[in-house]
Structure 1
């Protein structure tokens, strides 16, 4: 068998004196183009608003130039918002790629792990009961998401955890937690209910540097951890016996994948609320653009950043004088895709 036969399609084997590896050429090209598009969208979005700033001036300000008014608008008012959108999109898409690979199901998202509903319950409870400010709402959302995901994992444990059982338990727990969210909204004062509803629709409006910094730190830790699970994700696509024969400690590996996915989704939802369909749609788009057996992790993250940044731009410019929640825009994009995927899967099963 020749080296050409062993080489995966669409990948290039790199060799050095002490190092060899496989470069996913197609995925790298898609990620590079996606990154360039994200930067272009970000620069354009920063310049849009009541105080317009041309793209060239935006770049000049980012490099240290511009007037005092331009620096205030770009650096203090708009850059934190677009960075929050980029980081949240990357975290949600990467979490979705991990979840779908783990569960071997393109319909699996962090929602089935209880993260989104748990975070929603924590945030809404704090808003309704304490009228807490923006400082405490993200912390409550983060705690709620992590607690709900822990509950799902514990209930799904039966001498180990498999993806199918985890999804079923997650859906059940999610419905119970969602009923708690509805109860809080019913008993809330009108102003608190409005604040909670805005948060539940997902929004990066009003984002400040205090939100960007913890997001950036979290992703600086979690993205390398996600990439490090690459071999594990490849192995668990096979049967359990095959994975064990490859030297994978299945339960420890699955726990690492789930914890990373949960942490990514929790920090994203705590920063911007539950932005719908990003974790579901983006990994499948990345898979179809790049090919392969599972969603590519880094490409999914880049395309997630592009989707949320673009959706936020549309959300604040499509209606003059009025701003939509970014989660509404992503839902408009994602809902038709979900219907198409369900129809396609049904046709395949009945063929």
Structure 2
């Protein structure tokens, strides 16, 4: 079986599967990564205190004045690195879930992970009056608990992609009601703080946020290096996957858990930035037609989307700064409508 240059190889005696890496996928990943890096460097130099890209690179290399160092390295660099990591995590999460579910409409937004993080953060704001690190931990706890509930319920009695979607939609609906309840009972000041976080923002990011997303991505890449090759087989269905690998029942929960943890950590680091996990794999599929959304290009696409959206959020209405989630929402909503219309035309969502 082949899909362009990504070839499925069956080992003798059913010992597993392997894949040749597509050269086009590698080139596309490198190109998207370079674009994301270029936008990040540009974003480090733009703002109330402007620097040329060459001066920004000089500061990153250890030169420049103390003021330039403070603005670029201490203020803007954690924000840019967090944005790149969050985008990559959302892109990876969306690509994994869409491939397992064989459904282009699946994303952490849909299955409730973002809603779980929002509920956890709102509890910290409205009940405990917390902020900063406590807000991050609250969002992280809410996302992880929601992810755990989704995995347990979705994998309890057989596990198809649509079961994951249906369970996630149900949990997201319940959490949305709980969020509305908390907002109604909150004080005005708390509502303003909650509204900023709920939209998704990279403002005031620091070492804690960079660490969260860096550790998450490193762990996820390690897992995907071992289990990611099974994604192509899992797309063929559980029966075929079990025949080819002998362990579809063990591999699928690992990959789903990896996807939801990626989304949970990204949401904890930057808030529920919408549509990136949905859109990034779809862009990748169209840049590399004839096959599923590949993981590395999807991660690079997600990183480029978030860092570009954050730059736009900072500059479009300067000096007023928009939350990055507002920009991704404007860009992502038309894509969602297109996917829904396309699914309606062809009679299914696969």
Please show how residues 175-194 of structure 1 align to structure 2 within 5 Å.
175-194=173-192
Please show how residues 98-177 of structure 1 align to structure 2 within 5 Å.
98-177=96-175
Give 4+ residue runs of structure 1 displaced > 3 Å after superposition.
10-13, 157-160
Q: In structure 2, list runs of 5 or more residues that go unmatched.
A: 9-17
RMSD between aligned residues: 1.8
> Does the residue aligned with 2:231 lie in a helix, a strand or coil?
helix
Tell me: CA distance 1:219–1:133, structure 2 relative to 1, closer, same or farther (3 Å): same
1-structure distance, mates of 2:158, 2:70: 53
**1:12 shift after superposition:** 9.2
CA shift digits 1:108-127 (9 cap, x unpaired)? 01134321111110001110
Asked whether the 8 Å contact 2:4–2:291 carries over to 1, the reply is no
Asked whether the 8 Å contact 1:11–1:26 carries over to 2, the reply is no
> Does the residue aligned with 2:318 lie in a helix, a strand or coil?
coil
**1:328 shift after superposition:** 0.5
Q: Please give the TM-score of this superposition, normalised by the length of structure 1.
A: 0.92
CA shift digits 1:23-65 (9 cap, x unpaired)? 3111111111101111110111000011111110111111111
Asked whether the 8 Å contact 2:55–2:64 carries over to 1, the reply is yes
Please show how residues 240-319 of structure 1 align to structure 2 within 5 Å.
240-319=238-317
Q: Please give the TM-score of this superposition, normalised by the length of structure 2.
A: 0.93
The answer for the alignment partner of 1:9 in structure 2 is 4
Tell me: CA distance 1:161–1:9, structure 2 relative to 1, closer, same or farther (3 Å): closer
1-structure distance, mates of 2:134, 2:177: 22
**1:163 shift after superposition:** 1.5
**1:157 shift after superposition:** 3.5
Asked whether the 8 Å contact 2:91–2:280 carries over to 1, the reply is yes
2-structure distance, mates of 1:159, 1:277: 29
* Partner residue of 1:70 out of 68, 76, 86: 68
> Does the residue aligned with 2:20 lie in a helix, a strand or coil?
strand
Asked whether the 8 Å contact 1:84–1:212 carries over to 2, the reply is yes
Tell me: CA distance 1:31–1:111, structure 2 relative to 1, closer, same or farther (3 Å): same
* Partner residue of 2:86 out of 75, 88, 99: 88
Q: In structure 1, list runs of 5 or more residues that go unmatched.
A: 1-5, 14-19
Asked whether the 8 Å contact 2:5–2:20 carries over to 1, the reply is no
Asked whether the 8 Å contact 2:6–2:21 carries over to 1, the reply is yes
What count of residue pairs does the alignment treat as equivalent?
339
The answer for the alignment partner of 2:14 in structure 1 is none
The answer for the alignment partner of 2:202 in structure 1 is 204
Tell me: CA distance 1:311–1:192, structure 2 relative to 1, closer, same or farther (3 Å): same
1-structure distance, mates of 2:150, 2:231: 21
The answer for the alignment partner of 2:52 in structure 1 is 54
> Does the residue aligned with 1:229 lie in a helix, a strand or coil?
helix
2-structure distance, mates of 1:267, 1:38: 21
CA shift digits 1:285-308 (9 cap, x unpaired)? 111111243210011001100000
